[in-house]
Amino acid sequence: MERVFEGGFEIYTTLDPKMQIAAENAIEEILPDPEDPAAALVAMDPTNGYIMAMVGGKDFTEMKFNLATQAKRQPGSAFKVFVLLSALEQGISPYMTFNPNGNVIFDIYGSEPWEVGNYNDASYEINEMPVLEATVKSINVVYSQLIMKIGAYGIARIAMDMGIETLLDPYPSIGLGGLTVGVSPLEVCTAFSTIANYGIRHDPVAILKVIDKDGNVFEEYEEEERRVLTPITPINAYRAIEIMQQVMLRGTGTRARLDDRPCAGKTGTTDEAENAWFSGFTTNLAACVWMGYPEVNKKMGIIHDMRVQGGAQPAMIWNLFMTEATKDLPIENFIRPQDDMINIQVVINPETGEMLLPNRFTPLDQIIIKEFRYGGEPTVQMPITPDDIPIMPMVSLMHI
């Protein structure tokens, strides 16, 4: 390292100059004033882990702190994608329903009760909402019940396998982004790149080669040394992509939607809007945008006449960047994997013999796992009756 600081080295990076300029310009356009919150942006090629652009704050020479790689912030609902993937891997259908209204209180063994409400106390005129729709609308109450059903350990494992390097304590709150220690935009971008690459993870790469002043190769990145993991099956990554596309078409991420190509993503906003995120991808580029104050967790409120949330300024920055960064990249659809067999939890109706999805109250001893070709699985669940409700374990519901 001492030799590097002596100078005279040539460093070859993965950064794309045009994409780097696009990233800086996108942030400057949405947050132009010096007193505005900061933003960080990381963009990666999901097929190899190459970092194509990175903005770590307004002025690194002044701060000496890279918000894209060093800042550990709460991710909010961006972490719901790991809940979704864990549920899919366990055979839970996105058509399983939960009540989206009111607050729910969960009795957590060895800990304080966990109370969850919707963003802005939102309520709905329906008593049952599928997980798919709850992802599109980012419904906390639905997702908290799903988390309690599938368990926090699986969520933490999938998140870390996909690229979250921060050690995650397996508390239920992690599924809604409530972490003991936060995560960096680089970690989130890596994890979302894994989804874009159909479940195959590539660790981020920034430096390809370092040559000293005498022309000798001081350090060189070697392709075969890269760690490649497969934490989720390709077909379940594809199923998650389809749902995340709906987030951008008609959900919380519409401001990020690209007009010229398929894209998928997820918003994230923490309490008091102290942190706001948008993370998403096309087939050939993934990007994560974080927005917040660099020094402390500070409420952002309204910036430039717009309330801060993941689907607002971060989504707009993402859209501006991706529109420019992908204009010379091929327009491609996400491709359904050839191996499209999926495992689904089902129950057999004892009266009709019909195969149905279990509802959220169905006892485990009545559930079996069956394999289906994606698209041929059941999508209708067992009706919920009043007799079902008292058997739900470890949950005190403030609504029915």
Tell me the per-residue pLDDT of 320-372, one tens digit each, with 9 for 90 and over: 999 999 999 999 999 999 999 999 999 998 788 899 999 999 999 999 999 99
Both tokens assigned to 78: 């961006």
Structure tokens at 5: 């600081």
What's the rounded Cα separation, in Å, for the pair 140 and 243?
17
Note the pLDDT of residue 31: 97
CA-to-CA distance for 297 and 274, rounded, in angstroms?
Answer: 5
Q: What is the pLDDT of residue 392?
A: 45
pLDDT digits (tens, 9 = 90+) for 246-270: 999 999 999 999 999 999 999 999 9
Q: Reduce the DSSP state of residue 207 to 3 states and report it.
A: strand
Parts of the chain with a pLDDT under 70: 1-8, 60-63, 214-215, 217-218, 220, 223-229, 387-400
Distances (CA, A) of 232 to 163, 164, 205, 286: 12, 14, 21, 18
Structure tokens at 8: 């005279």
Is residue 201 classed as helix, strand or coil in its secondary structure? strand
286-292/275-281 β-pairing = antiparallel
Distances (CA, A) of 348 to 340, 345, 353, 374: 23, 10, 6, 19
The correct answer on CATH 3.40.50.300 for the domain covering 2-73+184-325 is no
Provide DSSP, 20-38: HHHHHHHHHHHS-STTSPE
Model pLDDT, residue 214:
66
The CATH 3.40.710.10 domain(s) of the chain lie at 2-73+184-325
What is the distance between the alpha carbons of residues 236 and 230, in angstroms, rounded to a whole number? 12
Per the structure block, which two tokens stand in for 23? 């990233």
